[in-house]
Protein backbone atom coordinates (compact mmCIF):
# COMPACT_ATOMS: atom_id res chain seq x y z
CA UNK A 1 0.00 0.00 0.00
CA UNK A 2 2.95 2.32 0.62
CA UNK A 3 3.79 2.56 -3.07
CA UNK A 4 0.16 3.37 -3.91
CA UNK A 5 0.38 6.26 -1.43
CA UNK A 6 3.73 7.25 -2.94
CA UNK A 7 2.27 7.29 -6.45
CA UNK A 8 -0.63 9.44 -5.24
CA UNK A 9 1.80 11.75 -3.42
CA UNK A 10 3.82 12.18 -6.60
CA UNK A 11 0.70 12.95 -8.63
CA UNK A 12 -0.43 15.49 -6.02
CA UNK A 13 3.00 17.13 -6.08
CA UNK A 14 3.02 17.28 -9.89
CA UNK A 15 -0.44 18.86 -9.92
CA UNK A 16 0.65 21.38 -7.26
CA UNK A 17 3.86 22.26 -9.07
CA UNK A 18 2.03 22.67 -12.37
CA UNK A 19 -0.53 24.90 -10.65
CA UNK A 20 2.32 26.90 -9.13
CA UNK A 21 3.31 28.03 -12.61
CA UNK A 22 -0.33 28.76 -13.45
CA UNK A 23 -0.75 30.78 -10.23
CA UNK A 24 1.49 33.48 -11.74
CA UNK A 25 3.25 34.23 -8.47
CA UNK A 26 0.13 33.53 -6.39
CA UNK A 27 -1.79 36.28 -8.18
CA UNK A 28 -4.49 33.92 -9.51
CA UNK A 29 -6.87 32.46 -6.92
CA UNK A 30 -7.76 28.96 -8.12
CA UNK A 31 -4.32 27.87 -9.21
CA UNK A 32 -3.03 29.19 -5.86
CA UNK A 33 -5.65 27.18 -3.97
CA UNK A 34 -4.66 24.11 -6.01
CA UNK A 35 -1.01 24.65 -5.02
CA UNK A 36 -1.80 24.71 -1.30
CA UNK A 37 -4.15 21.73 -1.40
CA UNK A 38 -1.89 19.72 -3.72
CA UNK A 39 1.24 20.19 -1.64
CA UNK A 40 -0.68 19.56 1.57
CA UNK A 41 -2.02 16.28 0.22
CA UNK A 42 1.35 15.33 -1.25
CA UNK A 43 3.19 15.80 2.05
CA UNK A 44 0.47 14.01 4.03
CA UNK A 45 0.68 11.00 1.71
CA UNK A 46 4.48 11.08 1.78
CA UNK A 47 4.33 11.02 5.59
CA UNK A 48 2.23 7.86 5.38
CA UNK A 49 4.74 6.31 2.98
CA UNK A 50 7.60 7.02 5.37
CA UNK A 51 6.03 4.72 7.96
CA UNK A 52 7.24 1.73 5.97
CA UNK A 53 9.63 2.91 3.24
CA UNK A 54 13.10 4.28 4.02
CA UNK A 55 13.23 8.05 3.56
CA UNK A 56 16.02 7.94 0.98
CA UNK A 57 14.17 5.46 -1.19
CA UNK A 58 10.87 7.31 -0.94
CA UNK A 59 12.55 10.60 -1.74
CA UNK A 60 14.40 9.12 -4.73
CA UNK A 61 11.10 8.03 -6.23
CA UNK A 62 9.34 11.25 -5.24
CA UNK A 63 11.98 13.53 -6.73
CA UNK A 64 12.91 11.44 -9.74
CA UNK A 65 9.45 10.65 -10.99
CA UNK A 66 8.19 14.09 -10.02
CA UNK A 67 10.86 15.75 -12.16
CA UNK A 68 10.02 13.60 -15.15
CA UNK A 69 6.26 14.11 -14.81
CA UNK A 70 6.56 17.86 -14.28
CA UNK A 71 8.72 18.02 -17.40
CA UNK A 72 6.00 16.18 -19.34
CA UNK A 73 3.35 18.58 -18.01
CA UNK A 74 5.57 21.49 -18.98
CA UNK A 75 5.83 20.08 -22.49
CA UNK A 76 2.13 19.30 -22.96
CA UNK A 77 0.52 22.19 -21.06
CA UNK A 78 3.04 25.01 -21.31
CA UNK A 79 4.87 24.13 -24.52
CA UNK A 80 8.25 23.94 -22.75
CA UNK A 81 10.50 21.73 -24.86
CA UNK A 82 13.51 20.19 -23.09
CA UNK A 83 16.73 20.11 -25.10
CA UNK A 84 18.96 17.07 -25.54
CA UNK A 85 21.03 17.60 -22.35
CA UNK A 86 17.80 17.93 -20.35
CA UNK A 87 16.47 14.70 -21.86
CA UNK A 88 19.72 12.89 -21.10
CA UNK A 89 19.59 14.13 -17.52
CA UNK A 90 16.00 12.94 -17.18
CA UNK A 91 17.00 9.53 -18.54
CA UNK A 92 19.74 9.31 -15.90
CA UNK A 93 17.26 10.19 -13.16
CA UNK A 94 14.87 7.46 -14.32
CA UNK A 95 17.80 5.04 -14.55
CA UNK A 96 18.80 5.85 -11.00
CA UNK A 97 15.31 5.16 -9.70
CA UNK A 98 15.24 1.85 -11.59
CA UNK A 99 18.64 0.83 -10.19
CA UNK A 100 17.45 1.57 -6.66
CA UNK A 101 14.23 -0.38 -7.07
CA UNK A 102 15.73 -3.37 -8.87
CA UNK A 103 19.13 -3.77 -7.23
CA UNK A 104 19.11 -2.09 -3.82
CA UNK A 105 18.59 -4.21 -0.75
CA UNK A 106 17.38 -1.06 1.04
CA UNK A 107 14.40 -0.65 -1.30
CA UNK A 108 11.07 -1.82 0.09
CA UNK A 109 9.98 -4.30 -2.62
Using CA atoms, how far apart are residues 65 and 41, in angstroms rounded to an integer?
17
Using CA atoms, how far apart are residues 8 and 30, in angstroms rounded to an integer?
21
Rounded to an integer, the average pLDDT of 97-107 is 80
Q: Tens digits of per-residue pLDDT, 54-101?
A: 998 898 889 889 999 999 999 999 999 999 999 999 999 889 888 887
Left (φ > 0), alpha (ψ -120 to 50) or beta: where does 79 sit?
Answer: left
pTM of the model: 0.86
Q: Tens digits of per-residue pLDDT, 28-45?
A: 999 999 999 999 999 999
pLDDT of residue 67: 92
Q: How confident is the model at residue 108 (pLDDT cuts 50, 70, 90)?
A: low
Amino acid sequence: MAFVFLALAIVAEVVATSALKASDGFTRLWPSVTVVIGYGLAFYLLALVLRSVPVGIAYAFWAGLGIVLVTLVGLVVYGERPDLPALLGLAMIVGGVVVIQVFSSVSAH
